């Protein structure tokens, strides 16, 4: 009996020590790219999580009412490389969940509610006028600069605009009353050179 107890204790020690070592594993996702132009993307006015709050359905009076709206800006900094004639720099917005299933002009994928995430950018045109533009899964490129000269232009000499964004919750088009449920989205803001 004593030998069996010792064997079981030894077996348990070996099994538990294997579990301890397994918990020390880690995962590292590494990404990188090579491009003719490179810029750092900077988000200002928000952290890595942006809570829009919890609201009662009555706050969504129409499908155009935006609730819990927050403002932030995105800028491209520390740019380097040459922008060729006719080429440009754009800001690309990607949502992990994609377009909201009940309204393609919202974000949030398939959510258990008829309320999605509205994202708008204030885009400054060549004439200096500002237009509030909905940013959707289908319309997710924001032009920042196009080289219209006859030569290549060094990216670090171009004053790229800071892009103000407004984000909030909005009821899907055609809905008459908001339903309860959670909606979430993970956005990636990426500089694109074309």
Among 87, 64, 80, 85, which Cα is nearest to 158's? 80
Domains of the chain: 37-193 (2.60.40.1090)
**pLDDT band, very low/low/confident/very high, at 123 (cuts 50, 70, 90):** confident
Give pLDDT tens digits for 162-178: 999 999 999 999 999 99
pLDDT for 29: 75
pLDDT at 11 over 60: no
Q: Is-contact 73 44, C-beta < 8 A?
A: yes
Share of the chain above pLDDT 70, in %: 87
- Least confidently predicted of 27-36, 56-65, 87-96, 116-125: 27-36
- Least confidently predicted of 16-20, 66-70, 102-106: 16-20
Rounded mean pLDDT, 112-139:
89
Q: Is-contact 159 144, C-beta < 8 A?
A: no
* DSSP helix/strand/coil, 70: strand
pLDDT for 46: 83
Phi-psi region of 4 (alpha: psi -120 to 50; beta: other; left: phi over 0): alpha
pLDDT for 24: 66
Residues constituting the chain: 194
Question: What 8-state DSSP symbol labels residue 6?
Answer: H
Q: Is-contact 167 45, C-beta < 8 A?
A: no
Question: Dmax of the chain from CA atoms?
Answer: 91
Q: What does the block give as tokens for 176? A: 């008459």
Q: Is-contact 106 127, C-beta < 8 A?
A: no
Burial class of 47 by CB neighbour count within 10 A (0 to 12, 13 to 18, 19+): exposed
């Amino acid at each position: 009996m004593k030998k069996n107890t010792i064997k079981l204790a030894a077996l348990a020690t070996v099994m538990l020590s294997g579990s301890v070592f397994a918990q020390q594993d880690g995962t590292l996702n590494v990404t990188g790219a090579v491009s003719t132009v490179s810029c750092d993307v900077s988000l200002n006015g928000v952290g890595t999580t942006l809570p829009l709050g919890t609201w009662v359905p009555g706050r969504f009076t129409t499908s155009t009412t935006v609730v819990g709206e927050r403002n932030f800006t995105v800028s491209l900094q520390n740019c380097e490389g040459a922008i060729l004639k006719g080429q440009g720099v754009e800001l690309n917005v990607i949502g992990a969940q994609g377009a909201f299933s009940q309204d393609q002009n919202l974000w949030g994928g398939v959510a258990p509610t008829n309320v999605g995430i509205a994202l708008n950018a204030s885009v400054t045109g060549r004439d200096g006028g500002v237009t509030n533009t909905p940013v959707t899964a289908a319309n997710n490129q924001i032009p920042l600069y196009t080289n219209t000269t006859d030569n290549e232009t060094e990216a670090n000499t171009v004053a790229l605009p800071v892009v103000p964004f407004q984000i909030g919750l909005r009821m899907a088009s055609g809905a008459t009353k908001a339903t309860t449920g959670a909606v979430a989205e993970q956005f990636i803001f990426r500089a694109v050179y074309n």
